Amino acid sequence: MISSGNALPPPAYGVVCDIDVQGHAPIKQRARRVPLKHLEKLYELLKGLLKAGLVAFSNSPWASPIMIVLKKNGIDIRLCIDYKMVNAITVVLEYAMPPVDDLLTELESYLWFCSLDAASGFWAVMMTSRARRISAFVCALGHFEWLRMPFGLKNAPMIYQRLIDNALWGFVQPKGGWAVFAERMRSAESAMTAQRSQNSAMTERPGVVMKFEADYSALTTSDPVQALVNGPDGDMFSSGESDESSHVPVFGRRSFVDDICFGGADFDDCLETLDRLLTRFAECRISVSFTKSIFVQPKVDFLSHVVTPDGIAADPKKLAAIAEIPFPRNKKGMQAFLGALNYYSRFIQNLAVYGAVLNQLKEDDFGSSTDLSAAKASFAELKRKVVEAPILRHFDSHTDAAP
């Protein structure tokens, strides 16, 4: 399924987002102040989320506050929700995320590459009724809850990783198979569409009901899709009745959340793998963003690295940004700098040697009376090494292996 990125794709099959807080009492926080200059943009953003079916009005006893973050252009805003208190009481989903280094290995046999980005990311995952209520957020314009999985929840990356892993490897499928589950979902969606049409007709008859009253009435309306999501077959991993899949792996690699990279020994091989992947994604109803994906090219960007048949290089834009960082004023800033370097540690010779001087700094060492000449020298040397980061050649098992 290919998405242009202009419309919200339908929800994926077989995996849902649930939030287990072990019976903890609801946590209801107050709304934080939103600057007046951002209020209209917040209204437009929320209106878009409501129209897309991503959020709905809520009467949940839970409420987390929002934070307004400016985008890079300094004008548009991004809606972020502070789920710190919810995440603190959420049971962790134990699911292993793939190491980035593992995803960048074994690329030496590829001459052509594809880099696919799953459309809408986390928003492709449906929420259980319990998760909807716990995900509720509050702001100056009202109280809302998520209908699709939002960013910021503790287990969101693991839930989505599990969804993609199962699609790529074919571990399990819903009871009865994908075709049976898909038919049940389509029937539920058709019934839900009919209900929404009826609610919409109510708002068009003068004097019958106000628009917001119709929106709030949806909170108590039976939702056939939600009944399926909440049922024993909604999540094929937790139902305990999943069928073993007859599918074989699409290719012998994992993705990292919604970033998928693969290749082929030649052009046709790469196309064949792409065809298998899109066929599997169609069965699982996972959409791919056409505008954010790269199809059958000799070079792709993957996890902030540039991958070619010759080797792997760090993203030059990310390295340039690191090279521009001034000497930090505190311990937290130094840790952020070292963390950025650690991601590209394979490209920086003697990182541990030069980084040891910086790691040993304490908060008090950043005072004006402390001699930081050695630390500043190490800092400058590390930035020089970042600028001169090499291309790492792919390991060749035929020539690089020991006798």
**pLDDT tens-place string over residues 283-315:** 888 989 888 899 999 999 988 889 888 888 888
pLDDT in tens, 216-234: 444 445 688 888 888 777 7
Quote the pLDDT of residue 244. 75
pLDDT over 90 percentage in the chain: 36
pLDDT in tens, 28-49: 999 999 888 889 999 999 999 9
Position 240 pLDDT exceeds 70: no
Assigned architecture for domain 2-95+121-155+168-244: Roll (3.10)
HEC assignment per residue over the chain? CEECCCCCCCCCCCCEECCCCCCCCCCECCCCCCCHHHHHHHHHHHHHHHHHCCEEECCCCCEEEEEEEECCCCCCEEEEECCHHHHHHCCCCCCCCCCHHHHCCCCCCCCEEEEEEECCHHHHCEECHHHHHHCCEEECCEEEEECECCCCCCCHHHHHHHHHHHHHHCCEECCCCHHHHHHHHHHHHHHHHHHHHHHHHHHHCCCCCCHHHHHHHHHHCCCHHHHHHHCCCCCCCCCCCCEECCCCCCCCCCCECCEEEEEECCHHHHHHHHHHHHHHHHHHCCCEECCCCEEEECCEEECCEEEECCEEEECHHHHHHHHCCCCCCCHHHHHHHHHHHHHCHHHCCCHHHHHHHHHCCCHHHHCCCCCCHHHHHHHHHHHHHHHCCCCEECCCCCCCCCC
The confidence band for 211, taking pLDDT boundaries of 50, 70 and 90, is: very low
pLDDT in tens, 60-105: 999 999 998 887 777 788 889 999 999 999 999 988 888 888 888 7
Position 279 pLDDT exceeds 50: yes
Span 361-387, average pLDDT = 87
Q: Quote the CA–CA distance of 137 and 133 in Å, as a whole number.
A: 9
The confidence band for 1, taking pLDDT boundaries of 50, 70 and 90, is: low
What rounded mean pLDDT belongs to the chain? 84
Quote the pLDDT of residue 237. 77
Quote the pLDDT of residue 187. 84
Provide the 10 A C-beta neighbour count for residue 208.
11
pLDDT in tens, 157-188: 999 999 998 888 888 887 777 788 888 888 88
Span 366-394, average pLDDT = 83
Span 42-60, average pLDDT = 92
Position 342 pLDDT exceeds 80: yes
Domain ranges of the chain: 2-95+121-155+168-244, 315-392
Quote the pLDDT of residue 369. 78
Of 56-60, 183-187, 188-192, 394-398, the range with the highest mean pLDDT is: 56-60
